[in-house]
Structure 1
Amino acid sequence: MSFYISLSGLKASQTDLSTVANNVANVSSTAFKKSKAQFGDIFAAAPMQTTSQVAGQGVRVQGVTQQFTQGTVETTDKTLDLAITGEGFFTVKGEDGNVGYTRNGAFAVDENRFVVDTTGSRIQVFAVDPQTGVPTGATTGATPADLSDLQIPTTLNGAAGGAQLTSVGVSKAGLVSAVYADGSTVYLGQVALASFNSQEGLRQQGDAHWTSTVASGDPMLGTANQGLFGAVNSGSLERSNVDITEELVNLIAAQRNFQANSKAIEAANTLTTTIVNLRT
């Protein structure tokens, strides 16, 4: 039995090592969220058995959960680099029409002047009045179907021969505005942020992207600086929330646990060999 107990310890230590290694590998990944392995003991006894005389049967991995703590915000001076300080996720739509959520605000414009992230997904915004910037629809209770792609035309209203685009701005509330050569200011949309009842229930997609699941609940959409949503900082990016010093300490602890379980297997093997050789 001790072989299997120690074997479960080895497997748990391997999972812990893999989790820490993944955190360390992504220390420079934009908006990466570190993970932590959680473990629980295994115990079993017959209904009429005295549990105080029964040892446990080892350990099992309960899950590997992500830690959605705030990462360090780094200044980049690029207008379309956006960082959320506080709660919320950017809402993006991929080429396949699937909606995802991310904290990676490294946005740029594609050949059609749509604002896209590093995976080519288009950021979603609430439609606003071009002159006042006031949302034209309700933001409370909205669904991803109520959102639209953000496009930044190079000329005023996209008209041929119109005034040329001179600058783009994004406010703390996520309101995107464009200024043109004739002095006109046009509001293009307001960045839609999403929140969830259980962030740990989100499904990872890689590249700091997640999709909603039954465990996470449906997204609650809203605008920045309102209610539970944080502010949008233009010209900044959120870095990984991995603390390299803490991860290296965890790495040493996981390594020691692996070595200890290996020693337990070695001791059990020595005892078994001794018993087998009693008759010889």
Structure 2
Amino acid sequence: MSFFTSLSGMKNAEIDLRVIAHNIANAETAGFKKSSAQFSDLVASGSATDPRRTAGIGATVSAITQDFALGPLEQTGRSLDLAVDGDGFFALANPFSGDLSFTRNGNFRLTATGEMQDANGNSLQAFPVDAAGLPTSAVPGDVIVPLTNGAGSALANVTINGRGIINAAYADGTAEPVGQIALATFAAPNGLRAIGQTKWQASGDSGAPQFGNPGLGNYGEMISGALERSNVDLAEEMVSLLTAQRNFQANARAIDTATQISQTVLNLRQ
């Protein structure tokens, strides 16, 4: 039984190493959130078992949790780079299926047709606004910036303020609000399903997204010209890496010791 107990410890240490390696690999990924492996013990017991003689049969992974703490903000000076100083997520729509995903990576670009998208072609979601910049609907949609205004002047610049209002400035000196970026929060963000590319999808564990305006409640204020960096602490990860390595070695040594004891017993029987 000691063989299987130590084997479970080696498997857990290997999973821990994989999680730590994933964190370290994404230390420079904008909007990345680190994860940590949680473990629980396994006990072989029943109603007739003497609790004073229950040795246990090893450990297992109980959960791999995500840490959504705010990462450091890096100034880029680019107007379409956005960071959220709060709990909100940017909402993105897949251009083919319309499925929503959520991210903390605010690196956006303007396409030739005036759409605001991420690097993978997903459309940023925003509330439509009137001429005064006030939302006219609580249902967000794709952001489309007109490339010319009513007078035929070409688009000169796009700026976004702390309330998430997207303003389009034109060559004739006029400007008009295009939309207000919609931020999403979740009742249980740890239940979000990671789908890669620093994006998540809502699940039954996370609850449905609750959309709101930047600057209100816990949605967070919009910061233009900045990106949120990964919240991975490399020093902390290196310590965890050494600990996981020692755990793996200790369990391997326990298997080696059990092998030697078994061999000794077999030799005695001979």
- TM-score in terms of structure 2 length: 0.97
1:142 maps to none
Q: Is the 8 A contact 2:167 2:178 kept in 1?
A: yes
2:176 maps to 186
Distance 2:176 2:4 in 1: 68
1:238 maps to 228
TM-fit CA distance, 1:181: 2.0
Distance 2:226 2:58 in 1: 46
Match runs of 1:93-172 below 5 Å: 93-95=93-95, 96-129=97-130, 131-137=131-137, 139=138, 146-157=139-150, 162-172=152-162
- Corresponding residue SS for 1:69: coil
Distance 2:48 2:142 in 1: 65
TM-fit CA distance, 1:182: 2.1
Give the stretch that moved more between structures: 265-274 or 47-56.
Answer: 47-56
Distance 2:98 2:219 in 1: 25
1:78 maps to 78
Residue 260 (structure 2) pairs with residue 259 (structure 1): no
1:176 maps to 166
- Corresponding residue SS for 2:46: coil
TM-fit CA distance, 1:154: 2.0
The letter for the 2-side match of 1:58 is G
TM-fit CA distance, 1:46: 2.2
TM-fit CA distance, 1:163: 1.2
The letter for the 2-side match of 1:43 is V
Q: Is the 8 A contact 2:113 2:147 kept in 1?
A: no
- Corresponding residue SS for 2:106: coil
1:36 maps to 36
Query: Which deviations, in whole Å up to 9, do the C-alpha atoms of 1:132-178 show, x marking residues without a partner?
Result: 001112x4xxxxxx211111222114x7xx01222211011100001
2:196 maps to 206
The letter for the 2-side match of 1:220 is Q
TM-fit CA distance, 1:42: 0.4
- Corresponding residue SS for 2:241: helix
The letter for the 1-side match of 2:258 is A
Distance 1:85 1:220 in 2: 17
Residue 85 (structure 2) pairs with residue 92 (structure 1): no
Q: Which runs of 5+ in 2 are unaligned?
A: none
- TM-score in terms of structure 1 length: 0.94
Distance 1:73 1:125 in 2: 23
The letter for the 2-side match of 1:216 is S
Distance 1:122 1:19 in 2: 30
Which segments of structure 1 move beyond 6 Å, counting only runs of 4 or more?
Answer: none
Distance 2:27 2:3 in 1: 36
